[in-house]
Amino acid sequence: MRVLVVEDETALAAQLTAALAAAGYAVDAAGDGARADYLCATERYDAVLLDLGLPAIDGLSLLRGWRDAGRTTPVLVLTARGSWHDAVVGIDSGADDYVTKPFRIEEVLARLRALIRRASGQASPVLKCGALVLDPRGAHVSLNGTPVHLTSHEFRVLSYLMHHRGRVVSQGELAEHVYERDHDRDSNTVEVFIARLRRKIGAAAIVTVRGLGYRMEQA
């Protein structure tokens, strides 16, 4: 899963980026509104963390522009303490949720997981496909109750497939959602991750739909 952090406070942006990466996300960052607008126009994200007080283009203007353009990416707004009015305006402008600064990283991660889960139509915080269980809260995967150890990219591929289980996902779509922007996103390497996952969770868990991509079964 891939997230964009839009925050002009360098230290906070670095803290958020590190925490998200540790939680298994591919993360891009923008320090001003113009850069964020460019990234959202050219890249595909599963969610955006958006500060409102940005240079170049403010957060509310960005948000309204994205929604007017029909972009439905979940947005978690970051607001200053006591700025309840900004939070209300943010929600009315198209934000999906908000968190007030200073915040605990755990709260941001929890709200982010909920947004991504709702956007993909999942009700449970834990994703299941038969005996395979993926818990985004701790980036844990188990099969028949036994932990499955995955690399960060293997986890991202599996997480994306399980969030969208029952739907065919192309190699290109997977590549767009498991790599950061500056990474060499060769969709052919997705085949390598799929092969590794099949060895770890069973060949039948991920179905190849010839010429289209891959699908996690619903069961």
Contact at 8 Å (CB) between 112 and 73?
no
Quick one: 33 and 104 in the same domain? yes
Other Cβ atoms closer than 10 A to 99: 18
The verdict on 210 and 181 lying in the same domain is: yes
Structure tokens at 55: 């240079």
Give the whole-number percent of the chain exceeding pLDDT 70.
95
> Residue 41's pLDDT is what?
93
The last residue of one of the domains, among 65, 85, 119, is: 119
Residues 79 and 131 in one domain: no
Helix, coil or strand: residue 159: helix
CB-neighbour burial class of residue 92 (10 A; exposed 0-12, middle 13-18, buried 19+): exposed
CATH code for the domain in which residue 58 is found:
3.40.50.2300
Same domain, 32 and 113: yes
This prediction has a pTM of 0.86
Domain with 51 in it: 2-119
Both 104 and 160 in one domain: the answer is no
115/142 same-domain check: no
> 115 and 88, same structural domain?
yes
Counting every residue, how long is the chain? 219
pLDDT at 184: 64
Same domain, 92 and 131: no
Residue that terminates a domain, selected from 59, 89, 119 = 119
Residue 88 — very low, low, confident or very high, per pLDDT cuts 50/70/90? confident
The model's confidence at residue 218, banded by pLDDT at 50, 70 and 90, is low
**Total domains, the chain:** 2
